[in-house]
Structure 1
Amino acid sequence: MNISTASIVLGLLVAYYNLKPPVVIIQLTNQLANLAAPLDMFYIGVLIMSLYRKKVHDPSQKIWIPIAVKLIILPACVALMMNYVNLILEIIQTVLIQSMMPTLTLASILIAKYSADEDMGAFTTVLSTIFALITIPLMVYLIF
């Protein structure tokens, strides 16, 4: 149990019971949400700076595995599953394109928080974003 899990449970309960929080809480939450992505990118930039100084080409790291899963295998599985779902075309296309997006920037922070290899997390985020520039148009062409 951590603060993220508690927040999700609390948010689901509030949504289930259709409770409306005070305007101050809504504004504070919106402002904090707007800060999340820039702070994530700043943190990843700091990690990349330290990666640049270290040896990045460690052959024991299999950096291509999470990138291949996130950018190729997962969208292919989602595309196969979408064949069995009766939804309107726009929703199917949105789900497929969302499944093709690169690794989320929050992954680096979560990896660092839980004492895993934060260098690999930052490097995976950066590489998946760069490779997504190639794989997203390619997957869109192949699937659509």
Structure 2
Amino acid sequence: MDAATVTLAITTMGIIILFGAIVAYKIAITTEAKNLFMAIIINIAVPFIILNGVFNTEMTDEVLQQVLIIFGVSIAINTLAVFISLAMGRLLGFQLSLAKKLALLAALGNTGFIAIPLCATLFGPIGGLLAAVFDAGLDVVLFSLGVYILQSEQRFHIRQLKALLNMPLLAITVGLLYVVSGMNAPVIFQDIAAMLSGLAAPLAMLYIGFLLPPFFKKGHALFYRELWFPLLMKLIIFPGITVLILSLIPIDDFLKQILVILTAMPTFMLASVLFSRYSNEENKAVMTTVYSTLLSLITIPLITLFAAYFF
């Protein structure tokens, strides 16, 4: 993996975030406008990145094997990261309730909103597809173990899993069914997928930029005492550990490179939504998401440079 290519892609995304921030500074971006952007990204742009990956990838047995490996590794990595973060938080003296919340912020990354467009840019259509599969695994962990941890009564409800019924997952399902059928997608569908998939990265970065001016204008504190913990764990410790582990595992270098990018992502974008619903720590989630996203523009290229010494 060429660190220069990753740096260029991240720099480009950073500039687009800056454009979004400038627009939001000049013009008040309403909640309705943000919701519209989010709906377009999640329900149109990201699903078509996945379908574009399916349409432009020869689905050999090797590719299907990669899909299964990525999905299994995603569940394993994200589950392990949650428990390691929780254990570290307790060892550092955090109260159990706080340690649980920090563990989720430290362990689970933005593998959908940012990673899918980024992997599609870096690795082509197959990169976007595999990133989406990894994100599906993360969603399984988030809406089962993650919600269980956040709930004060510590009970799991099957209805929590309804959050897994979303457009990206539907796109993965439709794409895999298309592969099994052996059919060729009509040219017009391929053209639509190629065109709409290009929306994801710029719209996602603009949306992040929209969040910045209102965040820094608010009167509440911009930091909390334990902020260093999820930032350090999510952006440095876990990606670094992943690189070291992957260097010892005999899997394809292409998968290793994708996994490095995916584990280097900032804190997951839904953190503020889930924390608002299941706890009273929404501000911590917002701060961690904002700062980890901005810092990841620096740490992702550094992690890829570190990985280049191992594979």
**Partner of 1:121 in structure 2?**
289
- Check conservation: 2:266, 2:289, Cα contact below 8 A: no
Q: Taking structure 1 as reference, are residues 24 and 64 closer, same or farther at Cα in structure 2, changes over 3 Å only?
A: farther
Select the residue among 66, 74, 80 that pairs with 2:245: 80
For structure 2, the 5+ residue unaligned runs are 1-164, 275-284
Query: Equivalents in 1 of 2:258, 2:273: separation in Å?
Result: 28
1:96 and 2:256 equivalent? yes
CA positional deviation for 1:14: 0.6
What is the RMSD computed on CA atoms of the aligned residues? 3.0
Normalising by the residue count of structure 1, what TM-score does the alignment of the two structures yield?
Answer: 0.70
1:59 and 2:225 equivalent? yes
For structure 1, the 5+ residue unaligned runs are none
Give the stretch that moved more between structures: 5-14 or 131-140: 131-140
Query: Equivalents in 1 of 2:266, 2:190: separation in Å?
Result: 24
SS of equivalent to 1:7: helix
Query: Equivalents in 1 of 2:178, 2:236: separation in Å?
Result: 34
Q: Taking structure 1 as reference, are residues 57 and 37 closer, same or farther at Cα in structure 2, changes over 3 Å only?
A: same
**Partner of 1:134 in structure 2?**
302
- Check conservation: 1:63, 1:124, Cα contact below 8 A: no
SS of equivalent to 1:103: coil
- Check conservation: 1:70, 1:100, Cα contact below 8 A: no
- The amino acid across from 2:273 in the alignment is S
**Partner of 1:33 in structure 2?**
197
Query: Equivalents in 2 of 1:63, 1:42: separation in Å?
Result: 26
1:46 and 2:214 equivalent? no
- Return the structure number with greater relative CO, CA threshold 8 A, min gap 6: 2
Query: Equivalents in 2 of 1:82, 1:134: separation in Å?
Result: 17
CA positional deviation for 1:42: 0.1
- Check conservation: 1:74, 1:100, Cα contact below 8 A: yes
Query: Equivalents in 2 of 1:65, 1:122: separation in Å?
Result: 12
1:11 and 2:169 equivalent? no
Give the stretch that moved more between structures: 6-15 or 74-83: 74-83
Query: Equivalents in 2 of 1:45, 1:16: separation in Å?
Result: 40
Q: Taking structure 1 as reference, are residues 98 and 7 closer, same or farther at Cα in structure 2, changes over 3 Å only?
A: closer
Query: Equivalents in 1 of 2:181, 2:235: separation in Å?
Result: 35
SS of equivalent to 1:115: helix
**Partner of 2:148 in structure 1?**
none
- The amino acid across from 1:80 in the alignment is I
SS of equivalent to 1:13: helix
- The amino acid across from 1:68 in the alignment is M
- Check conservation: 2:243, 2:307, Cα contact below 8 A: no
The number of equivalent residue pairs is 133
